Amino acid sequence: MDKNQCNAEEIILQLREVDVPLGQGQIIHQVCKWLKELEAENLRLKRAMMDLTVDNLVLEDTVKAKG
């Protein structure tokens, strides 16, 4: 899927996340900045998870080879 394409559920979740800060009086620029920070953190966490998944697979293969 293209980086800029979201499914309907993802769009609804993002709109709900934005609704609270906007309701608290934050301006759209602040909310957009906040969303970009969340996206960056999400990407960082996804990469960390992928690294751990690879590590786990290597360890499983090692255990199988020794067992």
42: DSSP letter: H
Q: What is the pLDDT of residues 27-62, one digit of tens each?
A: 888 888 888 998 999 899 999 999 999 999 999 999
The token duo for 26 is 């934050």
- CA torsion through residues 61, 62, 63, 67, sign: positive
How are the residues of the chain apportioned to helix, strand and coil, as percentages rounded to the nearest 5?
80, 0, 20
Q: What is the pLDDT of residues 17-29, one digit of tens each?
A: 888 877 888 788 8
Output the pTM of the full model: 0.56
For the chain, the domains span 8-66
